[in-house]
Amino acid sequence: MERTLTGKIRRAASEFGDFTVNDLATSLNMRSEKEMRRIRTAIKDLKSNKEIIALRRGLYRYTEKEKPLNKITKMWRAMRIKEYFTRRDIKLLSGASEAFVIKYFKYLVNKGFISHVSGFGFKDRLYCLNNPDKAPLNHPVYRTRGDD
């Protein structure tokens, strides 16, 4: 059960989809002017977070906030899009550290997802997806130390 008014409004708004302030007030059993002001303030905060959008004056829609992608997902997506890439390309596109890119590439090479095509060094070594058509859409499970 939600403890904060904003949490209660978020839950109720997600159930409604499109709603008005009166819809929320009825669902939360809040009718006084003070409670209505609190609901409007919470809606304003949720609008600034882009969780609620105004369709027109007095009518709102709840939109679930998207979570940012993690670095491994960014790296894998960049590899799938480019098909031929260097570690430096993936580092720049994903924002991952050089050391993490090296570890992830070693893992993918060992598992057979990518292979070394040509070149030497961090900047020049060219890799490719082994089978781009059959490569999974989501990144392969990456086990860090301690998961084995």
Task: Please answer whether residues 74 and 141 qualify as being in contact, where contact means their C-beta atoms are separated by less than 8 angstroms.
Answer: no
Res. 92 pLDDT band, cuts 50 70 90: very high
Give domain status of residue 83, yes or no.
yes
CB within 8 A of 35, min separation 6: which ones? 25
What was the pLDDT predicted at 5?
A: 87
Residue 138 forms part of a structural domain: no
* pTM (two decimals): 0.55
Q: Which tops the pLDDT comparison, 68 or 145?
A: 68
Q: Are 54 and 81 part of one and the same domain?
A: no
Provide mean pLDDT across the span 139-145.
64
53 within some domain: yes
43 and 90 part of one domain: no
Give percent above pLDDT 70 in the chain: 90
Same domain, 81 and 109: yes
Does residue 146 fall inside a structural domain?
no
- Both tokens assigned to 40: 């409007």
Which structure tokens are listed for 81?
Answer: 């899009």
On whether both 10 and 57 belong to a single domain, the answer is yes
Question: How far is the C-alpha of 54 from the C-alpha of 84, rounded, in Å?
Answer: 43
Examine the domain organization and report whether 75 and 58 are in the same domain: no
Residues 96 and 121 placed together within one structural domain of the fold: yes
Report CA 43 to chain centroid distance, whole Å: 23
**Within a domain: 141:** no
Residue pair 6/46 in contact (Cβ under 8 Å)? The answer is yes
My answer on whether 88 and 117 are in the same domain is yes
Alpha-carbon distance of 73 to 2, in angstroms, equals 31
Instruction: Kindly report, residue by residue over 96-132, the tens digit of the pLDDT.
Output: 999 999 999 999 999 888 988 887 766 678 998 887 7
Are residues 80 and 57 part of one domain? Answer: no
Q: How many domains does the chain have?
A: 2
Same domain? For 76 and 122 the reply is: yes
Per-residue pLDDT band at 148 (split at 50, 70, 90): very low
